């Protein structure tokens, strides 16, 4: 896939990825599911590297959903350990490449060590501005929206704002993603065509891209293919083609 075909003037400002298929990838190879997650970490690295090189400003990865806590303990523990080891291993690369690490979700639910490692890398990289990589961890979109509603209701109750002040901007400002632009391109791997409680508010106008590739096999060329596909679509935001021209 030729990277030069990408129009740098029309890059998605925010790409979000549902990294799916690690378990099936491992099963196909007769291995345990955790082998799939370990190899998924390599795909994470290559995706971040490629997105940064192309000049994508925001990349958000669905690494662990609120529902994922229900998986077998061994798998949950392995995913948390993988997160800690990936953070330790990659912090230098993130800093060298001027990348900011961000995290969204119910981070308090993560094991202590994962929280500490995450906070440390986030603090070290907070002023970096080439790209923001956001990890969605213990994340659920309905929970995120519910939290925003509770915060707004509390502000109304305490007379800090009036119900008339509530508009889309205020709601947006109370989401975990308040400092990120809307998602332009949402990619899901492994052939499943679902959103699975990911960034429901933020994908209102996103282009959706589904690929059969299993996450551990996702490489540079697959990302380029997704971006080229995005660039060939006409984004109308409710308008007609004629109005756009």
Q: Kindly report the three-state secondary structure assignment for every residue of the chain.
A: CCHHHCCHHHCCCEEEEECCCHHHHHHHCCCCHHHHHHHHHHHHHHHHHHHHHHCCCEEEEEEEEHHHHHCCHHHHHHHHHHHHHHHHHHHHHHHHCCEEEEEECCHHHCCHHHHHHHHHHHHHHCCCCCEEEEEEEEECHHHHHHHHHHHHHHHHHCCCCCHHHCCHHHHHHCCCCCCCCCCCEEEECCCCCCCCCCCCCCCCCCEEEECCCCHHHCCHHHHHHHHHHHHCCCCCCCCCHHHHC
Q: Does 140 bind ligand FPP (CB under 6 A)?
A: no
> Residue 83 interacts with ligand FPP (CB under 6 A)?
yes
Considering the candidates 68, 128, 147, 197, report the single residue annotated as catalytic: 68
Binding mask 174-193 for ligand FPP (x = CB under 6 A): ----------------x---
Note whether 86 binds ligand FPP by CB under 6 A. Answer: yes
182 is known as an active-site residue: no
Nearer to ligand FPP, 12 or 40 (CB): 40
| Residue 94: CB minimum distance to ligand FPP, A | 12
Instruction: Based on the shown chain and the rule CB under 6 A, indicate whether residue 12 belongs to the binding site for ligand FPP.
Output: no
Catalytic: 77?
Answer: no
Q: Is 94 in the site for ligand FPP (CB under 6 A)?
A: no
Residue 68 touches ligand FPP, criterion: CB under 6 A: yes
Binding site for ligand FPP (CB under 6 A): 19-24, 33, 37, 40-41, 44, 63, 68, 79, 82-83, 86, 135, 190, 215
């Amino acid at each position: 896939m030729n990277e030069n075909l990408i129009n740098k003037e029309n890059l998605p400002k925010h790409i979000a990825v549902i990294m799916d298929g690690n378990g099936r990838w491992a099963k196909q190879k007769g291995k345990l599911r955790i082998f799939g997650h370990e190899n998924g970490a390599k795909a994470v690295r290559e995706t971040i590297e490629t997105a940064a090189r192309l000049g994508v400003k925001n990349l958000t990865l669905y690494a662990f959903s609120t529902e994922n806590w229900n998986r077998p303990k061994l798998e949950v523990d392995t995913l948390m350990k993988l997160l800690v080891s990936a953070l330790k291993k990659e912090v230098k690369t993130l800093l060298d490449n001027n990348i900011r690490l961000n995290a969204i979700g119910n981070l308090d639910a993560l094991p202590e060590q994962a929280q500490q490692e995450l906070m440390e890398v986030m603090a070290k990289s907070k002023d970096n501005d080439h790209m923001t990589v956001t990890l969605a961890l213990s994340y659920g979109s309905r929970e995120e929206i519910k939290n925003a509603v509770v915060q707004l209701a509390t502000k109304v109750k305490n007379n800090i704002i009036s119900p008339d002040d509530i508009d889309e901007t205020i709601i947006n400002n109370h989401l975990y993603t308040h400092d990120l632009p809307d998602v332009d391109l949402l990619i899901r791997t492994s052939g499943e065509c679902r959103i699975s409680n990911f960034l429901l508010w933020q994908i209102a106008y996103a282009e959706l891209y589904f690929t059969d590739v299993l996450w551990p096999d996702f490489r540079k060329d697959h990302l380029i293919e997704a971006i080229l596909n995005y660039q060939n679509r006409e984004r109308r935001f409710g308008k007609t083609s004629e109005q756009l021209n």
